[in-house]
Amino acid sequence: MRTATWQKSSYCGEGEACIHLAGERATGAIRLTESGDPRGAILTAAPAAFRSLLHTLKKEQARD
């Protein structure tokens, strides 16, 4: 299995715990991890579910 190429969130500052994303070519899945997680947990989501998550987060941010 190939090692994922992780991309750090552009909203992350230096030295902060950050969200990292990686795409999985074979399945199209989106993988997320958090740099401050000592267990290295990885959440895997289907593209439609990830789009829905982003849509909800953007909608919540607009209400603030």
Q: Which long-range contacts (CB under 8 A, 24 or more apart) does 30-35 make?
A: 31/4, 33/6, 35/8
Is the Cβ–Cβ distance between 2 and 24 less than 8 Å?
no
Residues in the chain: 64
pLDDT in tens, 5-60: 888 888 787 777 888 999 988 889 999 998 888 678 999 999 999 999 889 988 87
Q: What are the boundaries of each domain within the chain?
A: 7-63
The pLDDT value recorded for residue 31 is 93
pLDDT grade for 1, boundaries at 50, 70 and 90: very low
In the chain, how many H helices and how many E strands? 1, 4
pTM exceeds cut of 0.75: no
